[in-house]
Amino acid sequence: MSSLYHILVQLCENKKITPYRMCKDTGIQPSVMTDLKMGRRHTVKAETAARLANYFGVTVDYLLGQEEQSNGGNSEEEKLKFALFGGEATDEQLEEVRKFAKFVKERDAGRL
């Protein structure tokens, strides 16, 4: 097993999702995780690493095991969930908040 696999599994656990869900959300083939787990692969392409790092709100260096800690362990999405809902919110709730914030920004800029 690669260290990348262990890091990805830990990030999934922290986010309370399965590796399969992560693959679906990011558009990565589940076979990538299988290859990492079985040791047939030890890393991923730079584009894939960047997509995964962005998804979890960590740096690529952290994802690849070159950095001891992530940016506090909380992605911007997790921070937003905590600030608005005390930590528990659905993706739909967050999307609604984002749409409302966009509306207010556009309204205040005089575009509406």
Hey, is 75 helix, strand or coil?
coil
DSSP for 9-54? Answer: HHHHHHHT--HHHHHHHHT--HHHHHHHHHTS-S---HHHHHHHHH
User: Is 30 inside any structural domain?
Assistant: yes
For residue 46, give its domain range. Answer: 3-63
pLDDT tens across 68-103, in order?
Answer: 644 445 567 777 777 777 767 777 888 888 889 889
N- to C-terminal Cα separation, the chain: 54
| Domain end call among 42, 63, 84 | 63
pTM over 0.75? The answer is: no
20 and 59, same domain (yes or no): yes
* 70 found inside a domain: no
For the chain, what is the domain count? 2
8 shares a domain with 40: yes
Query: Rounded distance, CA 101 to CA 1, Å?
Result: 43
The model's pLDDT over 20-76, given as tens digits with 9 standing for 90+, comes to 999 999 999 999 999 999 999 989 999 999 999 989 888 898 888 886 644 445 567
| Contact between residue 14 and residue 73 where contact means Cβ atoms under 8 Å apart | yes
Same domain for 87 and 49: no
